[in-house]
Structure 1
């Protein structure tokens, strides 16, 4: 995720973000992590390209395809695109049981049992989410290599019950991008550097980098990511996808390697709003071992798809984040076009300035995350089968194995987090109180303007992969308000700038996923901005 661009307030002072964003990607072209032998574009005639969940279901219902056949096609696709061809490195591990799962689900279908709209659908799961099977759960870290969870995360149990086929685990920004202040999004010591399928030397963002790149490149039907501050929204935007960060408490976090108990959540990443709604419906629900999910009681609809109508924007009042009317002209142009779509669909648009009023919260957010990361990781590791049992041991492992664990950037965020005291510290409680006031600010703004949602640019377009200097600011970022408030946030493709996708964001108040999905669907259907990737090698002429 790109939270550090928000929290390090003045670190980029005097540097033009727009100038950086349009720079040629040359920093690590010779790095062994990024092969430089591809043709300029990947010849792509995959039979399942851009297919939806509903279309896959119809193929299985008609008998034209089985889940086994579809699963095999995706496994072959992963090998062709991820391990050969463009070398996306989006999948960190393939599930050896995928075809067995698909066979069982085909047998159930033949016997007249169909679990629901996801029956037999292949998906990918981020590698910080436990699966109680042959696959590892490592958060991309060599320090956790070999760790296999004793049981599924609660959300994985729900997805299995819904009938999905788990194809494998996706690569991510190591430790969900909470390791270094100059990390490269999409890089992990276990999985290497994930690449953006639109332009291969551009960042996929993170931390759900592999999930974003894989769905965009049609390596699966849908995927699951996790977010603390931008880790679903940003890679979805960079990769031309629909991504939804739910209200904290709608989806269980049990069995997910944590950063923050107050901000973490899993969320769906898909090529359409409808597919995201279907996956969210399967994921949502109360978990006795994650107390915050008790707040979702009575607030989860039977299905989110009932909200998906083309008239869902009619009569709505949308706050438009005014600060995004300035910046890189291509992105601003797309944003203005998106606003016009809202208006044409019957929405009233009101200018607001939310980000300016929250600009002093970044440092407090980072402090909260440091404390909660230490507490959460220590708790997770204490019962895990990993060779390291504490955050301190992770740090020591990385130091001992620096050549492979830290070849490009170090672990100062791990170290600063480990130096924090307990959650009874005044520094923590004061910082938490400050971030929680973000919710009140959003509520006040929405109430004063009678708003149903607030919109913005999800994040700017993808910057260059730079393993030496790390990520840099893209000039736009709309994730912190919803992240700190624990509110739902969705991104939908808004268009392309120089062959790079840009996302359009809508956020609402707690438990408003249904109406939010409806508004996003109406925008999506009116704009139709999803463009498949072309696996261009570079924007720099040869």
Structure 2
């Protein structure tokens, strides 16, 4: 197993990075080896990691401008059928050239300097629209979200914005995953007529299709891990508060969080650290040997779970079947509390956006008169939120308290009773037809989301051509330990594969 060491302190000497046995073929095009043009094939981009690319740039074998142009070509060639990228930043190549100049002057800001990143379109980005999938937010924001400012400070190339399920999948219980009035329907790159799930649909699909090295998603309840699982990539839902949500269109600021989406766990770890403003001296994949894993089995997923359990046992881990209690009670208390928080937090956010409505009532009225917004589904949750009580209401306060207490107990009690390192459960079932309604899946995101605990999905297998992810849930604040465990599982399972772009499947 390769050991990947890196230091995320800005200004780190990337020439000291070591890569073990990782290999990536970067082919210099043309007869003149000094012509500055590097041809990066799709397979090269699919396999490349941030540490490897940083090393190639430090060695003078690759420039950020080359890498950025390669991803821009991929977007132009591939995204016409995927519809995952809403807009490309016109300054992307200029950003990359500035990174190359810093590197030439010995002023590289760290591993992510010069790495192209895509951002979900509910994250305020100066110079680019931030729509949350709605035509009502047509006037761009006046400043970067804090997480975008951190990425820019670290030298990342902001490549563009990604499509998402309208309003973070919180406008209707019958929303069409991956669809927005702004970007239309995003397709699953493995089978094009299947759903990408949501709401970070475009971010997951773009990463899977190698349209950027990494992407930023956001999650309130499954919106990172679910689309990542359906796209066959890594998605980390961090502990809320580790990454600032200032400048992100909210559902509930109490647990909304941005998080990294990547093809490789190491890249998710790097992106997570930069977004959180952390300084990490090293990241070494953990060993599965000696780990105790709680297996939360979900109906209909016996084959996948059995194969993952076999992998864990083969690498020295112990598994224990568990059941997380209180799920129905958590759901019953959480949903009405979210409606009250959504109304309060969204109306506060709207006051920061020029030209935007100021109230839930104004949003509802805009949608009723717009020819596109309600084309596929309604706004039942908007109507419910409009009638929700204020955040001082005793009933609301009791609901929020009950939901958090029960969600934390559901995880803490199981971890303690069996002396577990993590709890695992299937992230998703096979992707359904994009034109169909959302079937009942494993729905394993709820307890970690409501508790405010980290969870991560890693590719674990396939149902025919459709990827299935496995989620790992940790206790409060165990983000780094969860990433190390996920990296060990990724190395043991080796389940991810590049999309096939099949038009349909049984």
Work out whether the TM-score is over 0.5: yes
1:288 aligns with none
Specify every segment of 5 or more residues in structure 1 that has no aligned partner in the other structure, as ranges: 1-43, 286-299
In the TM superposition, residue 307 of structure 1 has moved relative to its aligned partner by: 4.2
1:210 and 2:202 are equivalent in the alignment: yes
1:504 aligns with 470
SS, match of residue 404 in structure 1? coil
2:322 aligns with 352
In the TM superposition, residue 181 of structure 1 has moved relative to its aligned partner by: 1.2
In the TM superposition, residue 64 of structure 1 has moved relative to its aligned partner by: 2.4
Distance 1:105 1:501, change over 3 A: same
Distance 1:537 1:304, change over 3 A: farther
Distance 1:304 1:235, change over 3 A: farther
1:433 and 2:430 are equivalent in the alignment: no
2:12 aligns with none
From 247, 253, 257, the counterpart of 1:265? 257
**What is the number of residues matched between the two proteins?**
465
In the TM superposition, residue 177 of structure 1 has moved relative to its aligned partner by: 0.4
In the TM superposition, residue 440 of structure 1 has moved relative to its aligned partner by: 2.4
From 294, 314, 317, the counterpart of 2:289? 314
From 106, 126, 135, the counterpart of 2:100? 106
2:35 aligns with none
**Runs of 4+ more than 3 Å apart:** 44-47
Partners of 1:304 and 1:367 in 2: CA distance: 42
**Equivalences for 1:193-232 in 2 at 5 Å?**
193-232=185-224
Partners of 2:459 and 2:77 in 1: CA distance: 26
In the TM superposition, residue 60 of structure 1 has moved relative to its aligned partner by: 1.5
In the TM superposition, residue 380 of structure 1 has moved relative to its aligned partner by: 0.4
1:92 and 2:79 are equivalent in the alignment: no
Distance 1:197 1:484, change over 3 A: same
1:245 and 2:252 are equivalent in the alignment: no
Partners of 1:432 and 1:254 in 2: CA distance: 22
Partners of 1:45 and 1:482 in 2: CA distance: 35
1:429-456 residue CA offsets vs partner (Å, 9 max, x unmatched): 1210121121123212211211111111
Q: Does the CA contact (< 8 Å) of 1:130 and 1:152 recur in 2? A: yes
1:473-496 residue CA offsets vs partner (Å, 9 max, x unmatched): 23x121001001000001100011
SS, match of residue 92 in structure 1? strand
From 333, 342, 350, the counterpart of 1:364? 333
How large is the RMSD of aligned CA atoms in angstroms? 1.5
Partners of 1:50 and 1:142 in 2: CA distance: 36
Q: Does the CA contact (< 8 Å) of 1:491 and 1:504 recur in 2? A: yes
2:11 aligns with none
2:5 aligns with none
Partners of 1:462 and 1:66 in 2: CA distance: 37
Structure with higher RCO (Cα < 8 A, 6+ apart): 1
From 402, 406, 414, the counterpart of 1:445? 414
**Equivalences for 1:77-476 in 2 at 5 Å?**
77-83=74-80, 87-132=81-126, 134-145=127-138, 147-285=139-277, 302-303=279-280, 305-309=282-286, 311=287, 313-322=288-297, 324=298, 326-327=299-300, 331-354=301-324, 356-401=325-370, 403-437=371-405, 438-466=407-435, 470-474=437-441, 476=442
1:340-367 residue CA offsets vs partner (Å, 9 max, x unmatched): 222222222111101x432222122111
SS, match of residue 125 in structure 2? coil
Partners of 1:80 and 1:480 in 2: CA distance: 37
**Equivalences for 1:59-70 in 2 at 5 Å?**
59-70=56-67
Q: Which deviates more from structure 2 when the two are superposed, residues 407-416 or residues 233-242?
A: 407-416
Partners of 1:161 and 1:490 in 2: CA distance: 26
SS, match of residue 360 in structure 1? helix
1:12-70 residue CA offsets vs partner (Å, 9 max, x unmatched): xxxxxxxxxxxxxxxxxxxxxxxxxxxxxxxx956523322122222222222211111
Q: Does the CA contact (< 8 Å) of 1:259 and 1:369 recur in 2? A: yes
Q: Does the CA contact (< 8 Å) of 1:277 and 1:304 recur in 2? A: no
Q: Does the CA contact (< 8 Å) of 2:329 and 2:403 recur in 1? A: no
In the TM superposition, residue 207 of structure 1 has moved relative to its aligned partner by: 0.3
In the TM superposition, residue 165 of structure 1 has moved relative to its aligned partner by: 0.2
1:139-174 residue CA offsets vs partner (Å, 9 max, x unmatched): 0101112x2111111111111111110100000001
Partners of 2:76 and 2:386 in 1: CA distance: 39
SS, match of residue 205 in structure 2? helix
Partners of 1:241 and 1:157 in 2: CA distance: 25
SS, match of residue 183 in structure 1? coil
Specify every segment of 5 or more residues in structure 2 that has no aligned partner in the other structure, as ranges: 1-40
